[in-house]
Chain A
Amino acid sequence: MKLFTILFALGLAASIASVTLAADAGVSQGSIMIQKYTTTPVDLHIPTVGAEVERVTLDNGLVLFLYEDHRIPMLNAQALIRCGSIYDPEEKNGLSGLTGTVMRSGGTKNISADSLNNLLEFIGGSIEVGIGVESGTATLSVLSKDTDLGIRLLADVLRNPAFPQDKLDLAKTEIKNGIRRRNDNLGMVGGRSFRSVIYGSHPYGRVLEWSTVKGITVQDLADCHSRFFAPNNIMIAVSGDFAKEDLLARVKQYFGDWAKSEIQFPPAPLVARKFNPGVFQVHKETNQTNVNIGLLGVKEDNPDKPAIDVMNYILGGGAFASRLTSRVRSDEGLSYSVRSAFDTGSKDYGTFSAGCQTKSITTYKAVGIMMDEIAKMEKSGASDQEVTDARDALVNRFAFNFDSAAKIVRSLMSLEYDGFPSDYYSRYLEALRKVSPADVKTVAQKYLKTKDMSIVVVGNPKAFEKPLTQFGKITDIELTAPDLK
């Protein structure tokens, strides 16, 4: 940064002079020319509850986050429900996902699936429900003229799903189709195998199998629904063209008489903090190898997150500004997609992973370069300039987290859902601005322990230019056809 400041003044002089200067100083002429367009700080306003967004709690415990935005005649709502496949009994893995799917596809006790579809699609609106690992979501999107109908249908879908047998059968068929096709795509096999190696039998790494899905009944769905769907277990973010009092009246009308109930959360299995180092080779006849390198990472509330984000940006999160992309892709032409990521979206330990996909005959080379770069970061951290660049990038693009009404209100709701303080974003940003090279080195040493890393490759090891033995003990995994009986 110091170098830039010095050259800035000179850069305004004749451009011929600056060419020479630039060459001498090891910077580009262009980097000097752009200084004058980049001096004003980027406008960063972080919306908060109480300012732009209003938080309201109904008597039955339903929490609303409201943001009026009258520019566009739309109404968007997103409900978050505390539930998820983390609570699925092992022998009924897939239950939560099916419950979410059939809540929407099966219609309600008051309106058949066909009528619900006709009503929504004719007005160009949508309601969708999905249940993931640690949360369920229901979204509504309608023109604001259809607000009343939209809220009424959303409430009905959340409260009174019908769970008809034929729609459960269809949903199961679709899951079976997905299982049948799960080995068809190299990247899909890679991601799944990596999670299995890291998490073992924990639900985060569990693979959906037909054997646990096929026996699930409509009664199971109804039980799953009634266990988790209660107003006191739901938050809804509403944004768009509405008047608060009017909207609240409708929400009370359709949700108000839904009684509170005590939710008994089954114990969620904990991720064991252990590692599974070595090389895992999943055999598939392809002309490329999918590579994932990584280990157990951090939980979503980890206080080191700002430093981790800066460190990972430099390593492989910052696209072409990152070391992994620069070396594996740009220098060596070994892969189209190279990246690294700390997955911090889960309550329990997420993963760190670095991945690429390269032709079989450059597998050893690509793995070697990636391990090198990770080890270099672990050992030496990053330079002042790299840290400054990464911080600038992460801070300056922060505004894009809040560039629409829907994003604003959903972001603030997520904070509460995840148990973060309401000023989390400003605190995060403040911490981000202070991340130092020393912090980067500390988190690199703490979270990038190369000796603990698993290297998971999917491809044809016979076609590798060299065996991967140098990187650890090799475990061969046969890719078997899924059992669909």
Chain B
Amino acid sequence: MVRKKLLAIAAAVTAVILSATQLSAAGIQLDVKKHVLANGMRILVLENHSAPVFSTVVRFNVGAVDERPGITGTSHLLEHMRFKGSKVIGTTNYDAEVPILAQIDSVAHLMKAEQVRLQSPLNSQDSTLYKQYRQQIADLQAQEKKYIIKDEIWRIYLQNGAAGFNASTGNDGTQYIVSLPSNRLELWAFMESDRLQNLVLREFYSERDVVMEERRMSYENSPRGALGEAAAAATYWSTPYNWPVVGWMSDLQNVQREDVEQYYKEHYSVSNAVAVIVGDVKADEVFALCEKYFGPIAAEPLPRPVVTRDARQRGERRIDVEFDASPMGSILWHTPQIGHPDIPALDVASSILSDGRTSRFFKNIRQTRIGQASAGVDAFNRYPGTFNVDIQPFGDHTLQEVEDSVYAEIERMKTTKVSQWEIDKVINQGDAALVRSLDNNMGLAYRLANSETLTGNWRYFVDYQDALKKVTPDDVMRVCNTYLTRENRTVVSLVKPYAQETAQTPGKAN
């Protein structure tokens, strides 16, 4: 139901997809204990002693939405940099690195100026100087290397039995995750507090190259990624959900170590963090350790909230994205943000349309072999998001046919009330999903961190279920009529390169 595009530090782990759940009906108590440090950091603990392991999420309330043109992609790049060590991890001699880092920064200034100069055709296009600076930075990084202990944070965690050590960045938040054997709790507290207060942005320019490769892989060479990037840019004219989490390529090419350091200072205050620990731990011990390790870290002012919002959309937008792949598309309608009373009804509408084999899209689009369609709504978005439907045609059917079929189903939602059975089904599925999630420490930790960061209330995802339960067939009809309108939608289609299309016999496309 709730879909988020997340980018992770390591490719092996896929993003956890959160789905809405019902708690009270299942009669399950979540005995979450919360402790707030004097510096504002929030700690949540849920004990589960069924196996000698625990899972942790440290989530910072910072994501791509907090960036600005020129430094897009910085939240994610910074996430990568938080695996490069600190003043005491990943180095044999931090003091010796300091002057080298300063030199790197001063050359980077010159390099950036050259890059900016080269961007204008008014200036000479001689790139000799730029290449010299680039080489100087490489040479300085090579000098620094003698002090660097490569990827030591990984080695320490992995040797101690870490599973799923990773991190991910989204539009709204950045989360750092790891699961460990239960007697490694203090190690976790040390490591996480260390990279919060002693972070060193070393090996920055090679990591920036890695992120550019990630961008090429996940956006430029992936039809789904290329479509998603265009969809966001076309939908959000003003809200900074406009750019991809990975950032625009030109920004990645220009962003400097100092920009990222500045961004870090502004957004990684201890008071902007929530730590969640679920598993074989004792809450009191966790709190005491957090007091010891995170307690001494001084709070800094919280970053400014994002105030820019999209104005009401005035008319359908249609965008093509050329890509050498079979057709697919996305349809997006603007919706309100988390906490708005219409969100639960939109969520129920999305589930009725597309969750499972009994959903309307499945029965009337997939089973009729026209194509497939899946809906989602940004129910847990910090700022206003979208109700969105991804589509693809089967066989000789066209994207337009699938799009039309989606509109036909939405039209039916607007004119005929959904059945109470369909609503009850959605609620029951939420109940079961919650019960199932209790068996997964990391999944629960994610939900708790998400709720706490976005709303200040870890129970929010539980309370949200009560709101889902109150949704009536009338509500569903009303929100479909309010939001799922032609003037409020953006349609993005992945199409074969135009030149390829015209080269083929008309009517025999694909």
Contacts and interface: CB of A to CB of B under 8 A. Distances in A.
Contacts of B191: 34
Interface in A283-341: 285-288, 318-321, 325-326, 329-337, 339
Contacts of A42: 52, 160-161, 181, 183-184
A138 to B, nearest CB: 16
A22 to B, nearest CB: 6
Interface string B427-442: 0111111011011110
A123 interface: yes
A389 B159 contact: yes
Contacts of B135: none
Interface stretch (A114-122, A217-225, A251-259): A114-122
Contact of B217 (A34, A337, A389): A337
A288 B209 contact: no
Given A28-B88, A37-B187, A333 B207 contact: yes
A238 B161 CA distance: 28
B50 interface: yes
B298 interface: no
Best-buried of A37, A117, A170, A389 by chain B (most CB within 10 Å): A37
A344 B149 CA distance: 32
Contacts of B182: 43
A373 interface: no
Given A45-B52, A332-B206, A333-B206, A400 B90 contact: no
Interface string A400-425: 10111110000000000000000000
A121 B425 contact: yes
Contact of A38 (B89, B96, B184): B184
Given A27-B92, A181-B325, A173 B187 contact: no
Interface in B446-490: none
A396 interface: yes
Interface stretch (B125-133, B218-226, B236-244): B218-226
A366 to B, nearest CB: 10
Interface stretch (A53-61, A68-76, A274-282, A438-446): A68-76
Contacts of B367: 166, 170
A335 B358 contact: no
A403 B213 contact: no
A184 B325 contact: yes
Interface stretch (B114-122, B150-158, B268-276, B302-310): B150-158
A22 B162 CA distance: 25
Interface residues of B, number: 90
Interface of A: 19, 22-23, 25-31, 33-34, 37-38, 40, 42-43, 45, 69, 71-74, 105, 113-114, 117-118, 121-125, 141-143, 166, 169-170, 173-174, 176-177, 180-181, 183-187, 285-288, 318-321, 325-326, 329-337, 339, 357-359, 389, 392-393, 395-400, 402-406
Given A43-B182, A113-B357, A399-B161, 17 more contacts: A28-B90, A43-B181, A73-B26, A123-B428, A169-B369, A181-B326, A184-B325, A185-B222, A187-B217, A285-B324, A319-B10, A321-B151, A326-B150, A396-B160, A398-B161, A400-B163, A403-B51
20 contacts: A22-B92, A28-B90, A28-B92, A30-B86, A31-B89, A37-B190, A42-B183, A117-B357, A125-B432, A143-B435, A181-B326, A183-B325, A320-B155, A330-B151, A331-B206, A333-B205, A396-B159, A397-B158, A400-B53, A404-B439
Q: What are the 4 A-B residue pairs with the smallest beta carbon separation, nearest first?
A: A124-B432, A396-B161, A333-B209, A337-B11
